[in-house]
Amino acid sequence: MDELEQLPIPLLMWYRENARVLPWRSDPTPYHVWVSEIMLQQTRVAAVLGYYARFMEALPDVAALAAVEDDTLMKLWQGLGYYSRARNLKKAAGQVMERYGGALPASYEELLTLAGVGEYTAGAIASIAFGIPVPAVDGNVLRVVARIAGDEGDITLPATKKRMGQALQEVIPIGEPGNFNQAMMELGATVCLPNGAPLCEKCPAASFCRALREDRIGELPELIRKAKAAYNNLLDIKKDEVLENVRQCMQDVHQLASESYNAMALQRQADDYFVGKREAAKEASSLTELDAMITQLLGYKDNICRRMEVMTADSHSQLLKENAPAGMSTLKPKKITSVRRYD
């Protein structure tokens, strides 16, 4: 990953000019960095700001967090979601009080032993609060690395994450590890965007970014394994739904046909249609296509059922006319109600 060797200087220069002003950056104590990083998991910065301010006002240090009542903690966290994060914060605060006298340990390895602290959070605390040169690798950072280095590895795989983390370890500035990690996060969050077009014209790595040079920004990073597995799982579920609709529609049509006059031709026509949809569903590769099939199936079934009802009513009327005594008015045939829709 030769491109990464060119990154530190232009990245840090860009960060000094473009870093967002955030409260935990303005006062990066270990406690502030820790709480902010936990809050920012799965949550946007803008949503965290108010919660962070209220949390720090109520629980200004590790001791206060360790001693807080659960109800109070949950009220402070209410609206952020993922409540296990709050529970782990309190549990880890207790561990810090018991093991380290209330001060978070200045060791990446020891930070990893705390409840709810993974490799990324430990790297962020260690580098930002303690100046320890270790990378903090999250989704934003993986995306930036994949594009700059033109790395085609699937970033959902642990092996890819480990390899990229090792590459960053080789280039992280010993004198500014915290700023470097925050700059990588900032670049991924504000410039090297995951959705839509990245703002390459604003990127400090544009002159040596391999993905930009090779016109592969839209292809990287790879999210093959988990993304495809998740999508295929949704496809299988939707296919099962279509097949169940086919089965139910055929059953409904057969039931109505058995109660109708001269409906066998319509039943055979419907069977051919339903069998065709069943086979098409098995080969479908799009959720949109499968959703459309369900709508088509139900619409077709209702149309066939209405035609059977009309045919039966017409046949019934004709029979009554043919068999009615002279001068006697025919009785109005009883309408056969349509069978229920299968939703």
Catalytic center residues: 37
Can you spell out the DSSP letters for 49-98?
HHHHHHHHHH--SHHHHHH--HHHHHHHHTTT--THHHHHHHHHHHHHHH
Q: Residue 294's closest CA among 233, 248, 251? A: 248
Q: Could you tell me the two tokens for 321? A: 């006319």
CA-CA distance, 103 to 123, in Å (whole number)?
Answer: 17
Dmax (CA) for the chain in angstroms is 110
Give the distance from CA 10 to its chain's centroid: 32
Total residues belonging to the chain: 343
Q: By the 8 A CB rule, do 65 and 89 touch?
A: yes
Provide the b/e sequence for 3-22 (b: ≥16 CB within 10 Å): bbebbbebbbebbeeeeeeb
Q: Could you tell me the two tokens for 113? A: 């032993």
Phi/psi of residue 222, nearest 5 degrees: -80, 135
CB atoms within 10 A of CB 253: 25
Q: Residue 127's closest CA among 39, 28, 11, 49? A: 28
Q: How many CA atoms lie within 13 A of 275 on its CB side?
A: 6
CA-CA distance, 65 to 147, in Å (whole number)?
Answer: 40
Q: By the 8 A CB rule, do 168 and 137 touch?
A: yes
The H or E element that residue 117 is part of is none
